[in-house]
Structure 1
Amino acid sequence: MDDKEKIAGLLGPYLNDGHFYVVDIQVAGRRGGHIKVTILLDSDAGITIDECADISRKLGTQMDELNFFGEAPFTLEVSSPGVDYPLTAPRQFVRNVGRQLVVTLADGNTRKGTLESVTSDHIVLVIEPEKKPKSKKKKEADLITEAAPVGPTPILFSQIKKANVEVSFK
């Protein structure tokens, strides 16, 4: 069992019976020097700074008592993923229904649209037709390329390489 799995196991009691969930755990500097542990947590209603600080204090104390990294010093950081962090868990997608997403697929193609719904194995993205300048349309019409889908488009979680909320300040 690696450090991430052990930390995830220690986190269990602090997740309020599944109210909070782990988005990511990163351990850097394990091969000597100062170790930095970064834990990203979220919930269906979001997570506050105070909740992150409380979990960080409890987990940090437990890791110290267990002498988790031996004599190596470590820093523990617990926070929420932030709006620019890619969506990874289905629960994160549910929280973002109605928002614009940019989804990179496993085959390298990109889809951009409004997240309409989420099921256990896929999302439905409503893709708007791309607006292109007239001169570009003629050039592209000469090229035989696969047209991007338009309208409600189901995308399996297994096909998603990366998904980000598109932040707009309009």
Structure 2
Amino acid sequence: MSTTQIDRLRELLEPLAAGRGMDLEDVSVTPAGRRRVLRVVVDADGGVGLEACAELSRSVSAALDQADAMGGAPYTLEVTSPGAERALTEHRHYRRSVGRLLRLRLREGGELTARLTGVDDKGLDLSVPGEKGRGPTARRVAFEDVAAARVEVEFSRRPAADAGDESAKEA
């Protein structure tokens, strides 16, 4: 699909997402056999639940039918939220990821894995895990020093409420 068509789809879909307090993160159309898949990715502060995706999907479907934005060829509509290991490209992505573990690729070279503790207009406040039993170290990284950033999936992290509870730690 041409960029112009994607731009038209974004113009049509952005107000629908915004009207529900969501940001339209991505719109893509990919071939899938005789059909096409229109994938609409949305996000919001606090995340986007399944019911919110379903409601938006119904509105998007109606708007697409009315505007004939996809033409006559069959397509499948997918409305979804970003994946767990999403790339962080916008300030709002970082803001929504405070408390999460990030993997940063730095412009000067090297990678850094650290917990995001804060974000402002200039950069990131991080807690870098200590090595060999040492405690974490605070570090500040300016946005201009970040080449790429991604949320890391954590399978064994305790809930924040248990973080200071020594009795909750596993032996």
- Counterpart of 1:151? 138
Count residues in correspondence.
152
RMSD: 2.7
Say whether residues 1:15 and 2:2 are aligned partners.
Answer: no
Distance 1:12 1:26 in 2: 14
- Counterpart of 1:6? 8
Distance 1:33 1:2, change over 3 A: farther
1:101 touches 1:165 (CA, 8 Å); kept in 2?
yes
- Counterpart of 1:163? 150
Say whether residues 1:92 and 2:96 are aligned partners.
Answer: no
Say whether residues 1:35 and 2:43 are aligned partners.
Answer: no
Say whether residues 1:110 and 2:111 are aligned partners.
Answer: yes
Distance 1:106 1:76 in 2: 37
Deviations 1:77-101 (A, max 9, x none): 0011132222333222212212221
Partner-residue secondary structure (3-state), 1:75: strand
Deviations 1:125-168 (A, max 9, x none): 2323545xxxxxxxxxxxxxxxxxx6312131673323223413
1:34 touches 1:73 (CA, 8 Å); kept in 2?
yes
1:26 touches 1:37 (CA, 8 Å); kept in 2?
yes
Distance 2:53 2:38 in 1: 14
Distance 2:140 2:152 in 1: 17
State the 1:44 CA deviation.
0.6
2:102 touches 2:150 (CA, 8 Å); kept in 1?
yes
- Counterpart of 1:124? 125
Structure 1 stretches of at least 4 aligned residues deviating more than 3 Å after TM superposition? 105-108, 128-131
Distance 1:41 1:117 in 2: 23
Partner-residue secondary structure (3-state), 1:98: coil
- Counterpart of 1:25? 27
Distance 1:61 1:18, change over 3 A: closer
Q: Which amino acid aligns with 1:4?
A: I
The runs of 5 or more residues in structure 2 that have no matched partner are 158-171
State the 1:18 CA deviation.
7.4
TM-score scaled to structure 1, two decimals? 0.74
- Counterpart of 2:163? none
The runs of 5 or more residues in structure 1 that have no matched partner are 132-149
- Counterpart of 1:83? 84
2:9 touches 2:69 (CA, 8 Å); kept in 1?
no
Deviations 1:1-33 (A, max 9, x none): 523222221112212447211222221129x83
Moved more, 71-80 or 122-131: 122-131
Partner-residue secondary structure (3-state), 2:102: strand
